[in-house]
Structure 1
Amino acid sequence: MIIKQLSVFLENKTGRINEVTSVLGNAGINLSAFSMAENAEFGILRVIVSDPDKAYKLLKDNHFGVTLTEVVCLNCPNTPGALSKALHYLSEAGVFIEYMYAFSSGDVAHVVIRPNDINMCIDILRRHSLELMAAHQLYQL
C-alpha cells in the first residue's frame, strides 16, 4: 500500500518542467500522477512514475534535486462528501496530512496522501474498510 513518490525541486524558470519530463520520457518512464507547487523562487514537482527507483537515479544523474517519499493512495467514490468522511477518520485519530492531491477516473477519485504517520494512516483507512491502491496499480496507470 505504500507508494514511492518523487519530489523534484526546480528553479522557477521556463523549460525546467520539460527537462524533467524529457529525461523521464526518453528513459521510457511514464508519469502516473503529479502535482506542482511553487513559490517565488522554486517549485516542487511531486510525481508518481512507472519506475520510481530508476527515475530517482536518472534525475540525480542529471543534477536535479530529488527525494523519494512514501505516500498512500486512497480510492474513494467520486461523490460529494466521500473524501470528507475519510479525512474525518484520519483527523479523529490524530493523523496530520502534510499534503495531498487527487485525480479522478470516472466514478473513482484517487487521492494521494502524504501523512505524518503512514502506517497509522493505512491502518485507520483499512479499519474503516476504505480502499487503498497498491503501488504497482498506480505505477501502471
Structure 2
Amino acid sequence: MKVKQISIFLENKSGRLAQVTRVLGDNGINIRALSIADTTDFGILRLIVSDPDLAYRVLKEAGFTVSATDVIAVEVTDEPGGLANAMAVLQEAGINIEYLYAFLQKASKAALVVFRVEQLDEAVAALQAAGIHILSGREVYAL
C-alpha cells in the first residue's frame, strides 16, 4: 500500500522547474501529483509519477539532487468532513503527519490525499481498520 514519492531539491531560480518537467516528459513519465515547498534560496519538489524508478534515475542523470520516500495515498470522500475523518483516525492511533497534499482522481467521486507519516505501516493498518481505502502504488501510478 506504499507509494513511492520522488523529491527533488531545486535552487530557487528561473527555469529549474521547467528543466525537471522537460526531463520527465522527454522520458515518457507522467506527473500524477506534485507539491512544492520553498524558501528564498531553494525548494523541494515532491512528485508522484507514473514510473518513479525511471524518474529517479533520469533526474539523477540530469544532475538533480533526488531522493525517494514512501508515502500513502488515501481515498477520502469528496464532501465536507471527508478529510477530517481520515485525520481523526490517524490522531486516535497516535500517528504524526509530517506533511500531506491532495490530488484529483479521474474516475471517482473521491478525493485522494498523499500522507507522509512517521509510522507508515501503523497508519495503513489504522486507516484500513476504519474502512478507509488506501491505494496501492500500482493504482496511483496508473491514474
TM-score higher than 0.5 here? Answer: yes
- Counterpart residue type for residue 10 of structure 2: L
**3-state DSSP of counterpart to 2:40:** coil
Distance 1:50 1:107 in 2: 21
Q: Identity, % of aligned pairs? A: 44
- Counterpart residue type for residue 127 of structure 1: A
Shift of 1:63: 1.0
Runs of 4+ in structure 1 over 3 Å off? none
**3-state DSSP of counterpart to 2:104:** strand
Corresponding position of 1:129: 131
Which of the numbers 116, 119, 122 marks the counterpart of 2:121?
A: 119
Aligned ranges 1:14-53 → 2 under 5 Å: 14-53=14-53
Do residues 88 (structure 1) and 88 (structure 2) align? Answer: yes
Corresponding position of 2:9: 9
Corresponding position of 2:65: 65
Distance 1:111 1:104 in 2: 9
TM-score, normalized by length of structure 2?
0.95
Check 1:55–1:12 CA distance in 2 against 1; reply closer, same or farther (3 A cut): same
Contact 1:78 1:104 in 2 (8 A): no
CA deviation map 1:16-72 (0-9, x unaligned): 001001001001111111111111110110001111011101111111011000000
TM-score, normalized by length of structure 1?
0.97
Q: How many residue pairs align between the two structures? A: 141
Q: CA RMSD in A?
A: 0.9
Structure 2 unaligned residues grouped into runs of 5+: none
